[in-house]
Structure 1
């Protein structure tokens, strides 16, 4: 388990699980007790994601009891969770990305970089000069920073996989000064103190103020977060004809099925475009077939 995941699980256990379950005898816990607990936690305002982690923690403890021979079966099997409502995805157009980059007071390059590559912020902040090849326009993503209880920890990517992707030439002007005449081991994107960029600090000090400033004069501008730049990159890729497996590899998702779930609305739009193109191709083929089999037919109809 990654340190950040371990810290999140431990915090969740201490706050949401231990107060209700640590003093209970495992043999006296019934499935109905756990289902009622889930319902009560949800009714009291616990979010679906937090509740899912809480159930995973409780289920893990009970599964361990089964593996140790202390229980014949886990009462946490088959517990139903409330359906999570997907968070709205705020997607920028290219002019909006450029407007945002012009507005941030520090490091506009990372705004464009995230919006045009789809890297997670922790992956981008961990990139070193040697990870980017300006000749082939290739990026090697093999590590990421994560915030573990206020401490930045450099570790593996979210899915423990290295991936290589090509970045657009539109980023050359931004990346050139950050790569030229610098040692290969130096971080590409750094704070004013020349330290690794923190997601929370950059978001609070530069990104969110820029978004608010734009929205003050243009209320239609999306009220987005840093993570929404990743959605913007996915949208641009899909609009450019990328398939679900291609978007999966670009974003470093665990599977193409997950990519489809997250961006099903964007792929629906893509399928609409495909249907229109197929309709035109079929109509063209039908006209050609009629002409071939009926020389006297009027092709202009």
Structure 2
């Protein structure tokens, strides 16, 4: 092998594997000399390709496997050697070859490892991958994606129509971005890239107040009465704040009129047109409170359902489908109750439940439990503006303290 080399040794102490980084001069190597002869002949024939690299950086990665990369000039090789040594020393080393993995490969690997998400959420992620992420990014190498590339893509999501032909809403753009960001986070965790370029991007912000509808007690009662035989279902949605899929999965044995509680442990999800029964969102099983008069009204349907029967069913039996209920029952009831201008939907009755509970004096933890939010911070982010700010109470308390101090000073001056 005979040729001189400069070397840098990198040692991982405390019994761990030793890795080395060095530069090898290939000038005396037979394979290099043969490659140079071919290049020179090709150059005479008019080829414009670059000559073979004389300087080879060699190293052992943390996995103990040998790696190599060639350069034409020694300063280039020395810079690479220094970079590799530093990354190995800091634990930030990534195999350059792993960064060549296509986004499609990484995305499928990420999706296959999802464990905590429900079927509806996974189906939504799948749709986002197939419709928005993979068509754009699928053939890209993960290491080739720059921050500016992601920013350009976000701009396109905001400006161009989505798969439906309509402009994407802000919430949908954010969700698509977060799925892509999760894929790149997986690329970081699997040591394909050192850092994700899908971070710290300005995303569109929706006005949550425009999306929320808060009915009064009178409006909720009018809507429920207009819903006919599904009056109690509307009241359940409007007073308990449970999700649609949770409401249509509620069973007789989970209703306790005496304690005024409805236990929420399962939910139906519409996955590609098929209703599937599974765990509640974020796996937050909970008991929701029932107003006393409303609880008594539920007793007959609980008795009729029996232990394993559904409290609310379709006319022909079985679970209710959202589209059927909304088209045949809910939307006509909204019109009959004179609430068309509010844009109310069955799902938005959760907002009514939250607002009525807060107005009744419920604290943030109670509302969090009732709605099944993962954290109180999430509840405050969505409904924080509904709680009294109590700023006047603070100002009044400060007045009391200040007036007492002033009175004391006046007494001292008078003496």
Fold shared by both chains (TM-score > 0.5): yes
| C-alpha displacement of 1:196 | 0.7
Q: Among residues 241, 248, 254, which one is paired with 2:374 in the alignment? A: 254
Please give the secondary structure, in 2, of the residue aligned with 1:146: strand
Corresponding residue to 1:171 among 289, 294, 317: 294
| 1:76 paired residue among 167, 177, 198 | 198
1:135-154 matched pairs, under 5 angstroms:
135-154=258-277
Whole-angstrom distance in 2 between the partners of 1:130 and 1:231: 27
Q: 1:185 aligns with which of 308, 317, 330?
A: 308
RMSD over aligned CA atoms reads: 2.5
Q: Over residues 171-217 of structure 1, what are the superposed CA-to-partner deviations in whole Å (9 max), with x where a residue is unaligned? A: 135312201254201011111011111222211211011112333xx
Larger Rg: 2
| 2:263 partner SS | strand
Bigger RCO (CA 8 Å, 6+ sep): 1
The partner residue of 2:172 within 38, 50, 61 is 50
The separation in 1 between residues aligned to 2:365 and 2:219, in whole angstroms, is: 27
What is the rounded CA distance, in whole Å, between the counterparts of 1:17 and 1:181 in structure 2?
Answer: 48
For 2:252 and 2:246, locate their aligned partners in 1 and report how far apart those are by CA, in whole Å.
13
In 2, the alpha carbon distance for the partners of 1:24 and 1:56 equals: 18
Change (3 A) 1:133 1:11: same
1:180–1:277 Cα change, 3 Å: farther
Question: Is the CA contact 1:106–1:206 (under 8 Å) kept in the aligned structure 2?
Answer: no
**2:106 corresponds to:** none
Q: How does 1:91-110 map to 2 (within 5 A)?
A: 91-110=214-233
Gaps of 5+ in 2: 1-116, 161-166, 408-415
Deviation, 1:276, is 6.5
Q: How high is the TM-score relative to the length of structure 2?
A: 0.62
Determine helix, strand or coil for the equivalent of 1:127. Answer: coil
CA contact (8 A) 1:66 1:74 kept: yes
Equivalent residue, structure 1, for 2:389: 271
SS at match of 1:54: helix
Counterpart of 2:91 in structure 1 is: none
Question: Which stretch of structure 1 is more off in the superposition, 66-75 or 228-237?
Answer: 66-75
Contact in 2 for aligned 1:92/1:222 (Cα 8 Å): no
Partner of 2:331: 208
| More moved, 5-14 vs 225-234 | 225-234
Match of 2:353 among 230, 233, 240: 233
The reply to whether residue 2 of structure 1 matches residue 118 of structure 2 is yes
Aligned length: 279
The 10-residue stretch of structure 1 (165-174 or 117-126) with the greater mean CA deviation from structure 2: 165-174
Provide the C-alpha distance between the structure 1 equivalents of 2:395 and 2:357, rounded to a whole number of angstroms.
21
Give the 5 Å matches for 1:281-300: none
Post-superposition offset of 1:278: 9.3
- Structure 2 matches for 1:14-93, cutoff 5 A? 14-44=130-160, 45-86=167-208, 87-93=210-216
Distance 1:76 1:25 in 2: 14
| Offset at residue 279 of structure 1 (A) | 5.2
- Which SS does the other structure have where 1:180 is aligned? helix
Q: Rate the CA distance shift 1:271–1:85 in 2: closer, same or farther, 3 A.
A: closer
* TM-score, normalising length: structure 1: 0.84
